[in-house]
Structure 1
């Protein structure tokens, strides 16, 4: 009786413990990190480009010289 009950319990818990996609979470984090780095690189290139950089500098200078 005891072994039959243990066998039923182990069959029920086995798929939960040893799932087929055990390393999937790590892979998802790696892909997400890679995508975030790629997006950051693209944004860096856009912000440091000539026209965008000049517009940001002009905006900052205008904000610093604003009177209340």
Structure 2
């Protein structure tokens, strides 16, 4: 019985992420989102984005 379980485990490998890896991945994604939020909402970047959008809206078709 244990030989079969070991063989199945050996043949299938370690696929996917464990719970701890999901937690670390989620934490990293949230940290990146927070940094991007701060950058986009900063004065110079916000002004440049607004200028870019206004220029795109005024573009001739």
Common fold: TM-score over 0.5: yes
Give TM-score scaled by structure 2 length.
0.75
Give the structure with higher Rg (CA): 1
If asked which structure has higher relative contact order (CA below 8 Å, sep 6+), I would say 2
Give TM-score scaled by structure 1 length.
0.68
Q: Which runs of 4+ in 1 moved over 4 A?
A: none
Q: Structure 2: give runs of 5+ residues left out of the alignment.
A: 10-16
Aligned mates of 1:30, 1:38 — CA distance in 2: 12
Aligned Cα root-mean-square deviation (Å):
1.8
